[in-house]
Structure 1
């Protein structure tokens, strides 16, 4: 995928969107959220975009960039097992992946430290790493000695993940989506595998992540086409697993385990992904939650058509970009 015309096109689109916004504040790095399904190429794209942002030529000032994945913020293996044992009937907590399986305090502390790195005396921060190949594909957090050190100051911080920007929705919305499953999801969304209460629990757990999203300035979303939005995810995620196993001597999940693994994620997309551009609702008060990248900003009068802070790239089954659009608050 990397090096292909489609890949380079998507990378350039992302680079351009970020580059427009990089002059926002010298005191804080620009926080960029990238949401996209498993196997859609998020990690590779961010690494390529990081290279593009760092290059120094006559058309571009080099930027200092840090990248991280939400996958590296999973709970350690022992805590994931304990979570699953505490909720044996909840399929969404049987292993890493869904809201509730990430280390919220660690993520909050890390992101805040990165946000303040340009004004902090601590000029370096260590980013956790999670090895998905350990424990037969269940994964585990690596020791701190193997974490990635990031040196400040920084101009851009990029976070990618499948559920980045997911917001909790209203109970009414969840119930309606649970009952009315579109025909395009036949074969990929099996509502008999979980209960409404399991979905509501996932929704409540998603609320904990909004303290992360509050720190972000702009967002990019990689979205499958609407015709069969989740079918390609199985193909992409299987390719991803095969590539990892080819590099590490065969450690990881079997093909059947990959399918079961992805099955657990599909409800997350169905019930929560729209929050990336529409936000959600506070669980206790019912008040509206608007993502920071969808909030209105004052702009100079001369700036008649300011670029939106959220950009969506729709890709086909072969990850080729088919549509690019700004997402603005309705």
Structure 2
């Protein structure tokens, strides 16, 4: 077989294993080949052509399927294209519960809830990225994790160890690549939660300041930005509730003797109000900032994909 046939056969084998291990429908293989394989191959070529691992952002609303897709992309990178790849999730760099409680006391009570800019440990993320590119003696880099069911960061002994240096770093998260809003856009509350709990605009003002400073510095280091574009904020709620149900099932399986700490449907509805402002801002602005955009339908299927002028 020629190189193209070998690559195709290797890809089919990797997809089959991933689908089986993750209990995903067979359609995942067809959709990956149709919509994502080409971009994955292009990123692999870019990574092989440089000495320092590119940092590629992957943005998508909560529940859009980005984490599964990025995991599959990374597997294809490693096993088909021979590119050592690590996935970093913005979610795994949340501040500890104690640190967020301190923010809630010193700045605004809403910072006790994880998720928005200002609730991540960006110093730790920058240190991790630097170590993955130029590792310490021994070549192993600890990468943090976050237990969403417990709403806290586990001790370092439970973090994963990654062999470094790597050739490609994929950074995924719901607000990766997001720009700050204009100050005038912060004036009116976007939902009842903001009206009742942030009447003086302290919380959303600080979130926006974080986006304009520390997060802008991080996102400015991205070598490329990929985007799963949701159809609406309403779809994001449906997807996030489905995600919470899966989290609940997994927790009950892992901890059968403990009470389930995951959220009810109404609690999820309240929870995502924290993200409505920036989610809707991202729906309007991220497509123009991304290099590759996949436009999703309400069932998460891809309706179309395009290369933006940023990447052209």
TM-score range, shorter chain: 0.7 to 0.9
Instruction: State the match for 2:159 in structure 1.
Output: 147
Contact kept, 8 Å, 1:315 with 1:322, in 2: the verdict is: yes
Aligned with 2:273 (options 263, 269, 274) = 263
Unaligned 5+ segments in structure 1 are 182-187, 280-293, 295-309
Aligned with 1:79 (options 79, 82, 99) = 99
Query: In structure 2, what is the Cα distance between the partners aligned to 1:154 and 1:5?
Result: 30
Task: Output the TM-score relative to the length of structure 1.
Answer: 0.75
1:252, distance to aligned residue in structure 2 (A): 1.6
Contact kept, 8 Å, 1:189 with 1:266, in 2: the verdict is: no
1:191, distance to aligned residue in structure 2 (A): 5.7
- SS across alignment from 2:165: coil
Unaligned 5+ segments in structure 2 are 1-22, 253-259
Q: Comparing 35-44 with 215-224, which one deviates more in the overlay?
A: 215-224
Q: Which has the higher helix share?
A: 2
Contact kept, 8 Å, 2:230 with 2:283, in 1: the verdict is: no
The answer to whether structure 1 residue 199 and structure 2 residue 204 are counterparts is: yes
CA-based RMSD of the aligned residues comes to 2.7
Instruction: State the match for 2:3 in structure 1.
Output: none
1:234, distance to aligned residue in structure 2 (A): 1.0
Q: In the superposition, relative to structure 1, how do residues 233 and 47 fare at CA in structure 2: closer, same or farther (>3 Å)? A: same
Aligned with 1:29 (options 35, 53, 71) = 53
1:153, distance to aligned residue in structure 2 (A): 3.3
What is the count of residue pairs matched by the alignment? 277
Moved over 4 A (4+): 178-181, 188-191, 272-275
- SS across alignment from 1:130: coil
What do the CA deviations read for 1:58-101 (whole angstroms, capped 9, x no partner)?
xxx3221111210000001111122122234x54x231010111
1:167-186 equivalences in 2 (<5 Å): 167-172=179-184, 174-175=185-186
Contact kept, 8 Å, 2:227 with 2:287, in 1: the verdict is: no
1:49, distance to aligned residue in structure 2 (A): 1.4
Contact kept, 8 Å, 1:6 with 1:321, in 2: the verdict is: no
Contact kept, 8 Å, 2:40 with 2:73, in 1: the verdict is: no
Instruction: State the match for 2:306 in structure 1.
Output: 325
Contact kept, 8 Å, 1:163 with 1:273, in 2: the verdict is: no
1:65-214 equivalences in 2 (<5 Å): 65-88=85-108, 91=110, 93-117=111-135, 121-134=137-150, 139-172=151-184, 174-175=185-186, 192-193=195-196, 194-195=198-199, 196-206=201-211, 207-214=213-220
1:210, distance to aligned residue in structure 2 (A): 2.0
Query: In structure 2, what is the Cα distance between the partners aligned to 1:199 and 1:11?
Result: 40
Task: Output the TM-score relative to the length of structure 2.
Answer: 0.79
Query: In structure 1, what is the Cα distance between the partners aligned to 2:305 and 2:288?
Result: 18
Query: In structure 2, what is the Cα distance between the partners aligned to 1:324 and 1:313?
Result: 4
The answer to whether structure 1 residue 43 and structure 2 residue 63 are counterparts is: no
Query: In structure 1, what is the Cα distance between the partners aligned to 2:193 and 2:308?
Result: 30
Instruction: State the match for 2:248 in structure 1.
Output: 245
Contact kept, 8 Å, 2:94 with 2:153, in 1: the verdict is: yes
1:16, distance to aligned residue in structure 2 (A): 2.2
What do the CA deviations read for 1:230-263 (whole angstroms, capped 9, x no partner)?
0011111111111111111133222222111111
What do the CA deviations read for 1:94-132 (whole angstroms, capped 9, x no partner)?
310101111121111112222334xx6551211100000
